[in-house]
Structure 1
Amino acid sequence: MSTKTDRRKVLAVLAGGLVLGIGAAVTLAAWNDSEFATGTFTAGSFNLQGSVTSATAGYVDHNVDRGDAAATLAFSLPAATALSPGDVVYAPLWVRLDGTTSNNATLVPDTITAGTGGNEANLSYTIRAIAPDAVCDASAAGTVIASGPTLSALTGATAVPLAKGAAIGTPGTAVQLCFAVTAAATITQGATGSATWEFTATSTPN
């Protein structure tokens, strides 16, 4: 076989190899495909508010840490300014999740800070979670969520569930907290006693 003929056969084989190689690449590309997915995630909203007026009206924020004023409890007669030994006074506070809130929550009495009027050690208290439309007085029945032998102590803190509204824009169902403060036999005439309670609401997974 001549050298010229051999060279043509070699070239033909190489050319065929190139054609086969290109054909294989095209075939592999035809068996590849892709899918893409994207997601957008937006955080919900959460806000606790309180009212000393009623279960349905008078709600505002009372978060002292954000610069709000604490809610001023309106205690029953005998007036909290004229207590005698053994007197018990009552005051309601309604709490709820506002209409922007997207999660349920639990509410727990967190801290109590006593004032410096002199009678803080001579006043004890209990806080009960009662029905929104119940009367906060000696007949109030509900779960005791906190108590203290003085206005400097907080014992037995128990969580209370808070439900969000049925839809965004609708506030959640109110929970009434009934405060009962009792004057001890050792109460000092003319001296005052004060305390600030902090309640913390924590969102729970939906």
Structure 2
Amino acid sequence: MVTKATQRKIGAVLAGGLVLGIGTAATLAAWNDSEFANGTFTAGAFNLEGSTDGTTYANHSTAGTAATLAFTLPAGLVSNMSPSSTVYAGFWVRLAAGTTSAANLTASGATADPAATSNSDHLSYAIYQLDPGATCNAASATGTPVASGATLDALTGATAIPLTAGATATDPGTAVQLCFRVTADAALEPSLVTDATWSFTATSTN
């Protein structure tokens, strides 16, 4: 026989059970959600190329693949240099099609044959940036100084040249003509052949 007291106890237990049940239901009903963010990073393209005639461009990225400048005397060939004579050569540079950033171009190095077996110490040079359409010769070899050297293996006064990227992915940037002027001193030794190499570095500005 269930007494009233017993009923109250059962009711208390059930009430307690209901309280526990409500607490458990609240825990299970908690909401949670997540957000994820993803980014894709694609590097832009960057390529500098040069030309000895302003028409045909290629990469000359190492000393072994350096472009051969076509130096000429005002009246004759570079192989006929004599004391105090000066020779000139043009070289065009531009950012290749597909390049996505403008750049600054700077002369970064000059090397030459050893002075003991060449005329590298008897030849000085200056490099200029010419105005569009100008010709690299004795008459118009003036412009913005880019670099110079009292000898062929020296490099002083390097000045950055701005280069623009092409308007579209299929357009190259605007070409800039550099004019190399090499001058022999009065002590130039006859019959010696001297090789010199100049390097340029383009650094993106974007």
TM range (shorter): 0.7 to 0.9
Matches within 5 A, 1:120-199: 120-138=120-138, 139-199=140-200
Q: Secondary structure at the match of 1:25?
A: helix
Is contact 2:141–2:181 with CA below 8 Å preserved after alignment?
no
Gaps of 5+ in 1: none
Report the structure number with the largest CA radius of gyration.
Answer: 2
Q: Structure 1's 147 and 9: CA in aligned 2 closer, same or farther, altered over 3 A?
A: same
Partner of 1:51: 51
Is contact 1:49–1:95 with CA below 8 Å preserved after alignment?
yes
Shift of 1:3: 4.7
Shift of 1:121: 0.6
Shift of 1:53: 1.1
Deviates more, 1:170-179 or 1:17-26: 17-26
Shift of 1:22: 3.8
Q: Secondary structure at the match of 2:201?
A: strand
Partner of 1:94: 92
Tell me the alpha carbon deviations over residues 170-193 of structure 1, each in whole angstroms, 9 at most, x when there is no partner.
111111111000111111111222
With the length of structure 1 as denominator, give the TM-score of the two structures: 0.88
Shift of 1:50: 0.3
Partner of 1:9: 11
Is contact 1:129–1:175 with CA below 8 Å preserved after alignment?
yes
Q: Secondary structure at the match of 1:81?
A: helix
Structure 2 residue corresponding to 1:18, chosen from 20, 33, 37: 20
Is contact 1:107–1:201 with CA below 8 Å preserved after alignment?
yes
With the length of structure 2 as denominator, give the TM-score of the two structures: 0.88
> CA–CA distance in 1 between the matches of 2:132 and 2:79?
27
Q: Give the share of equivalent positions with the same residue, in percent.
A: 47
> CA–CA distance in 1 between the matches of 2:93 and 2:7?
100
Deviates more, 1:94-103 or 1:68-77: 68-77
Shift of 1:145: 1.1
Matched, 1:74 2:76: no
Q: Secondary structure at the match of 2:94?
A: strand
> CA–CA distance in 1 between the matches of 2:141 and 2:17?
98
- CA RMSD, 1 decimal: 1.9
Deviates more, 1:155-164 or 1:35-44: 35-44
Partner of 2:109: 111
Gaps of 5+ in 2: none
Shift of 1:126: 0.1
Shift of 1:12: 2.2
> CA–CA distance in 2 between the matches of 1:51 and 1:149?
26
Is contact 1:94–1:132 with CA below 8 Å preserved after alignment?
no
Aligned residues: 199
Q: Secondary structure at the match of 1:28?
A: coil
> CA–CA distance in 2 between the matches of 1:10 and 1:99?
85
